[in-house]
Structure formats: C-alpha cells, structure tokens
C-alpha cells in the first residue's frame, strides 16, 4: 500500500521523514493551518504535477461528499422514512418534504461554497491599487491584500482565507464563508434526522443502536451477522449510514461552533492560531463582514435566494481595531 501511495504521490512525501512531517504538522497547527494543508505544501513538487494531484484530490472530496449525500437521500426516501411512518401516509409525505428541503438547501449552499470562492485575481475587482504594506506572494509573484493567503490546493491567493475545505475542494474565504456556515447547519440538522431515522429502522428490524446491545454494531460483529444471514444488506447499509451520520454530525457541530466563535471574534482560523486580533470590531461589524446586512442573515438559513448580497467591504481592505484601513 505504501509503495502504491509513493508511486501515486498523493499521501506520502518520500523526501520527508516522519519526525519532519510531525514538526511541519505542529508548525501548521501553530499557524492556524491544518496538518493536511501543511502536508500538501508544494515546495518540492513541480507546478504541473502538483496541480494534477491537487485537482484530483479536490475532485475526490467532492465525489465523496456528493455520492454520500445521494445515498443518504435515497435510503431515507425508499427505506427508513416509509418504514418509520408506515401507519401514517400524511406524516410520511410531510417528512419526505422536510428531508428534500434539507437536502436542497444543503446542496445549494454547498454549490455556492464552491462557486463563490474569493480568489484575489482575477475574481477581485481592480478598484484598489496594491498598497506598499501588502505582503508579497512568492507563488503568484504579486503583492496580495491584507488577510489574503496563498492556498497550494486552490493554486491562488484567497481573500480573507479561513481554511481549505477538503469536502468542497475550495478554500473558505471572504465570499463563501456564509454559505459554509449555513451548509454546516443543514449538515448537522440532516445528520441528526438521518441518525434518528436509522435508529428507528434498526430498532424495529435488527437492534437499537443506542441501547445495551450497542456492541452488535461494531464492524466485525455486524459483518459476522451479515455473512451468516442474521442482518440483511439493507440493515448493513442503514447501519453504515447511521455511523456516517453520527461522525459527520459531530464534525459539523465542531466546525459550526468554531465558525460561530470566529465570526463573533472577527477572526479567521489562521488569525486565531496566530493570536491576531487586529481586525476585531463590534459584533455587528464582525457579523456583517461575513454575512452582509445583518437583517438578511435569518433569510440565508431559510433559502439561499439572497446569494447576490456581498459581505461588508470589498475583501481587499480591512478596518483595524483602531478604525484604520489597511
């Protein structure tokens, strides 16, 4: 396996020893980047091979996310919902629409995260001339705005870069952070609902997940039951969906909490890691610099129809705590 990985070059860097990789991961954590982002720094890779590998990685993340959400929707629509609401056709119709509503809202926000990425160039309007205090990006050979950072996986400098999302295959940044927050909210709600449905289905057809018989859901036990015909293929699939819903729900809850705290504090993940509080203003200002006018925020969580509304500012210049524009 390691030979295969070495050949593909996706997951291993033969020129780095384990201790060097750990040191890089620790440095990355201190600078607010994830160890995965540090791992994919491209110093020793040629530009073309790095681009091919990272494009494949981004596509793989999107494929994983897309196929998983479609499988969850399909199994809910055809198996768990009809089972749970077998005696109540009206409730079944209503719950089906609830599930579709969550799925549509989640998908639209997810797509907006991908398509509303804020690259410095050519997406940014050239209304602001580069300032002398802007730092220089060695990769782009250009000076880049305050709070922008280069992303090796997006091949560009990203305005107010927060972090690179491997499931969306883009950075969370100035324009798309609000869609990310809404998508996380729907992932959390969808996962909780999916977990509840899975548990109901498994309680009636196999065993309850959250009971003293929880150990029957350990993969080896589950596989044994499946091989010897005690658990059906549907039970096995719903069990896998239940596990994914549980782990994806926990991950979404973590990221959502982090994002809310960072938005309230007026920081990005990178700035949080570095302890930078330069751009922290009042609560209303901090929220509007991510979501746009505060009166519209509740509507984003109902339907992303107000996608044309931009966050406060131009993404290039930022006011500091002293009210100075940098």
CA–CA gap between residue 248 and residue 195 (Å, rounded): 10
Our CB check for Zn ion shows the closer of 156 and 191 to be 156
Positions 140 through 199 that interact with Zn ion (CB under 5 A): 140, 150-151, 153-154, 157, 164, 171
Our CB check for Zn ion shows the closer of 50 and 188 to be 50
**What are the structure tokens assigned to 326, written together?**
């940098």
Count of beta carbons in the 10 Å neighbourhood of residue 209: 21
Stretch that binds Zn ion, among 91-99, 138-146, 191-199, 302-310 (CB under 5 A): 138-146
Q: Report in angstroms how near the CB of residue 173 gets to Zn ion at its nearest.
A: 8
Q: E strands along 42-141, which residues? A: 135-137
Q: Is 137 in the site for Zn ion (CB under 5 A)?
A: yes
CB-based burial label for 127 (10 Å; 0-12, 13-18, 19+): exposed
CA–CA gap between residue 85 and residue 4 (Å, rounded): 48
Phi, psi (degrees; rounded to nearest 5) at 149 = -140, 150
Do the beta carbons of residue 287 and residue 263 sit within 8 Å?
Answer: yes
Our CB check for Zn ion shows the closer of 164 and 312 to be 164
Q: Report in angstroms how near the CB of residue 119 gets to Zn ion at its nearest.
A: 9
Q: Report in angstroms how near the CB of residue 144 gets to Zn ion at its nearest.
A: 6
Q: How far is CA 113 from CA 109, 110, 168, 179, in A?
A: 6, 5, 7, 6
Our CB check for Zn ion shows the closer of 102 and 165 to be 165
Q: Is 208 in the site for Zn ion (CB under 5 A)?
A: no
Our CB check for Zn ion shows the closer of 139 and 270 to be 139
Residues that bind Zn ion in the complex, under the rule CB under 5 A: 137, 139-140, 150-151, 153-154, 157, 164, 171
């Amino acid at each position: 396996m390691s030979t295969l990985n070495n050949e593909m070059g996706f997951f291993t860097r033969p020129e780095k020893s384990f201790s060097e990789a750990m040191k890089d991961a620790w440095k990355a954590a201190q600078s607010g980047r994830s160890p995965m982002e540090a791992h994919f720094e491209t110093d020793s890779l040629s530009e073309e091979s790095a681009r091919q590998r990272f494009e494949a990685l981004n596509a793989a993340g999107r494929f994983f996310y897309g196929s998983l959400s479609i499988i969850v929707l399909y199994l809910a629509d055809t198996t768990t919902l009809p089972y749970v609401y077998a005696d109540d056709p009206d409730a079944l119709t209503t719950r089906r629409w609830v599930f579709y509503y969550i799925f549509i809202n989640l998908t639209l926000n997810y797509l907006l995260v991908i398509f509303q990425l804020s690259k410095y160039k050519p997406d940014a309007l050239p209304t602001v001339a580069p300032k002398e205090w802007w730092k220089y990006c060695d990769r782009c050979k250009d000076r880049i705005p305050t709070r922008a950072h280069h992303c090796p996986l997006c091949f560009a400098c990203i305005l107010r870069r927060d972090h690179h999302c491997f499931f969306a295959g883009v950075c969370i940044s100035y324009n798309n952070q609000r869609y990310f927050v809404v998508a996380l909210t729907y992932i959390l709600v969808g996962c909780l609902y999916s977990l509840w449905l899975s548990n109901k289905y498994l309680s009636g057809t196999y065993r309850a997940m959250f009971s003293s018989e929880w150990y029957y859901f350990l993969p080896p036990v589950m596989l044994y039951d499946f091989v010897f015909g005690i658990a059906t293929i549907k039970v096995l699939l719903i069990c896998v969906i239940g596990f994914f819903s549980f782990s994806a729900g926990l991950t979404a809850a973590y990221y959502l909490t982090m994002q809310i705290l960072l938005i309230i504090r007026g920081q990005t993940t990178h700035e949080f890691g570095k302890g930078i509080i330069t751009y922290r203003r009042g609560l209303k200002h901090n929220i509007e610099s991510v979501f746009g006018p505060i009166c519209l925020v509740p509507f984003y969580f109902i339907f992303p129809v107000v996608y044309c509304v931009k966050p406060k500012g131009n993404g290039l210049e930022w006011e500091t705590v002293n009210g100075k524009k940098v």
